[in-house]
Amino acid sequence: MAEQSYFQHFPSPAKLNLFLHIVGQRTDGYHELETVFQFLDYGDDIAIRTTAGDEIKLLTPIDGVNNEDNLIIKAAQLLQKQAKYSNGAEIKLNKVLPMGGGLGGGSSNAATVLIALNYLWQTGLSFDELATLGLSLGADVPIFIHGFSAFAQGVGEQLTPVYPKEYYYLVTKPNCSISTQAVFNAKALTRDSAKIDINAAPIDDIIHSAHNDCQSLVIKQYPEVAKLLAWLVEYAPSQMTGTGACIFSRFDTEKEARQIADLLPSSVESFVAKGVNRSILHQRMQEQLR
């Protein structure tokens, strides 16, 4: 493909873990999880322009992250190598999702780059092939590649489509970042939650009766999370997503969510978004392919 003179934009959405149970640990150290992923209609924006040379350039470096460690660069180089593709790309990231928040921002960025470059470079890989590549970058990448809400098992790569109600969420981030690795390495982490039969009840009943096994550990170690969560549950069902630090609060209407957002201290980062069962990236790609 010839060098483009313009950038094309692709959304990189956030996800929520509507619950997160840890049901075991494998001999390789990875945890066996059960969770329901749902996307938000909110996220980062990634702009990409194809180039005639073979270099992958990230024009918007992230503070504190070396380019060679950035999942955006890694994803592009991985696809380039897998497809034996000789040209390159320039990439710009407009980062709005908080880092270290449990919203899957880095994994989402990697997935968006894989899907977008597969389209722009016309490399012709299937979603299953892209998801296999993505899994080598992170356990959450495949869900963003496939783009549907799912009950996930294993390390998060075994996906069964589900259709939970699409609520509005107030997503808040306390003034702290939490290391996923530190949470999963903690001795006090619960690792023996009972497995779920996803067919035993309606999916929303299962979600509302479930919990996040990481939350009790995190609120003991991070008072900022504990304090904000205690405030939020006075207004709406609220829970941490992933390993934190972000908390999501569930509302039936956008107006209700924004009313509570207006009560938050200015020091708390927040946004309101709708849960969607189909990724906004996939919605955009369908429009591109028409």
- Residue 69's pLDDT band, with cuts at 50, 70 and 90, is confident
CATH class (in words) of the domain with range 1-290: alpha beta
- Specify the amino acid at residue 153: Q
Residue 63 vs residue 150, higher pLDDT:
150
Exposure string for 217-242, b = 16+ CB within 10 A, e = fewer: bbbeebeebbebbebbeeebebbbbb
Supply 282's token pair: 């996939």
Supply 53's token pair: 């040379």
Catalytic position from the list 15, 74, 173, 213: 15
Supply 56's token pair: 């992958």
- Residue 290's pLDDT band, with cuts at 50, 70 and 90, is low
The confidence score (pLDDT) of residue 195 equals 96
The confidence score (pLDDT) of residue 201 equals 97
Q: Taking a C-beta distance cutoff of 8 angstroms, is the pair 113, 76 a contact? A: yes
Residues 224-246 pLDDT 10s: 999 999 999 999 999 999 999 99
CA distances from 34 to 8, 100, 207, 263 (A): 36, 21, 11, 34
Mean pLDDT of 122-139: 95
Catalytic position from the list 44, 74, 140, 213: 140
- Phi/psi for 274 (5° steps) reads -100, 140
Sequence ranges of the domains in the chain? 1-290
Mean pLDDT of 154-173: 95
Share of the chain above pLDDT 70, in %: 99
The confidence score (pLDDT) of residue 165 equals 98
The confidence score (pLDDT) of residue 252 equals 98
Residue 2 has pLDDT above 80, yes or no: no
3-state secondary structure the chain: CCCCCCCEEEEEEEEEEEEEEEEEECCCCCEEEEEEEEEEEEEEEEEEEEECCCCEEECCCCCCCCHHHCHHHHHHHHHHHHCCCCCEEEEEEECCCCCCCCCCHHHHHHHHHHHHHHHHCCCCCCHHHHHHHHHCCCCCHHHHHHCECEEEECCCCEEEECCCCCCEEEEEECCCCCCHHHHHHCCCCCCCCCCCCCCCCCHHHHHHHCCECCHHHHHHHCHHHHHHHHHHCCCCCEEECCCCCCEEEEECCHHHHHHHHCCCCCCCEEEEEEEECECHHHHHHHHHCC
Residues 91-109 pLDDT 10s: 999 999 998 899 999 999 9
Residue 1 has pLDDT above 60, yes or no: no
Q: Is position 140 annotated as part of the catalytic site? A: yes
Supply 140's token pair: 């959450």
Average pLDDT, the chain: 95
- Phi/psi for 44 (5° steps) reads -75, 170
Kindly report the number of other CB atoms within 10 A of residue 264's CB atom.
15
- Phi/psi for 151 (5° steps) reads -85, 120
Q: Is position 15 annotated as part of the catalytic site? A: yes
Residues 257-286 pLDDT 10s: 999 999 999 989 999 999 999 999 999 998
